Structure 1
Amino acid sequence: MYAFFAYNWQVRDQWFAWCEDVPNEELLKDRIGGIGNILHTLLHIVDVEYSWVRAIQKKDDKPIDFSDYTTLRQVKALSDQYRDELEEYLQAEATTNKQKTVTASWLDGTFTKEEILHHIIAHEIHHIGQLSVWAREIGKKPVSATVLDRGLF
């Protein structure tokens, strides 16, 4: 399972690099679907991953105020910070105790750790598809979503 987190991080980093050639106004431009713009979709991906892993760890959520993140640099820095915090845990613990029951402060119900980890992976892949559509709308080739040739397996 860790390989798919590594995959998502690779693709996310490629999207951050892709965004470097896009004016900030275009990154924040309102779009149809998802979170509404490219920059905040990337931030949403980071936020969801971090929040759910913290829920698995039985740690308090740290809600993000999206209005505090208006530049690519800010979102990339947060992504890097959170990844540094989560990577060791995910590498060591992703496949252990998969049936552990987890609750989240922002949602009713309980889920297994395995369900949540799969949700995090699928959630990011979903938004990668959204970013690809928006990339084409502004006339740019999107980042490849292929898992092949990434050296993950």
Structure 2
Amino acid sequence: MSDHTFGKTLRSPSHFFHFALSLSLSLCQKHSSISFSQAMALTFKLAQLQSKATQASQLVSKHAPLYYKQLLEQNKHYIQDPPTVETCNLLSKQLFYTRLASIPGRYEAFHKEMDYVKHIWKNLNELKIEDACVATLFGLECFAWYCAGEIVGRGFTITGYYV
């Protein structure tokens, strides 16, 4: 079935039902392990999903313009006039150079933190159990975020990459 036919098929609920029914029948024919009742259950679930998606789409299209207007009204003090490409380019440059100017302060803060870690490392006998537990929990949290990033990077598989 071509994409063109698929787009035409889903224009109304009755067309969608007929499409889902034909899909169910073709599933039964191609995969003998799928019974007709399973295919019909799949058809019913697809019809329910299409109905819920239509409801959600209607809800969003009804309320989105109002939400957009409220959001702009609440945050109008952040909006630069005139809202042109030139203004956006100027703001982009201001953000870049402001971030660039903040590097020395961040560098200094990083060195203060490193000095504190070196001081703690030299004086391990003064380390409290609470501080050690907090540091351990922080390390475990960093490891957990690393593992989560690896799983996401692999396409949400735990065992490995798709080959």
Pair in the same fold by TM > 0.5: no
Structure with greater helix percent: 2
Which structure has the bigger radius of gyration?
2
TM-score by length of 2: 0.27
TM-score by length of 1: 0.28
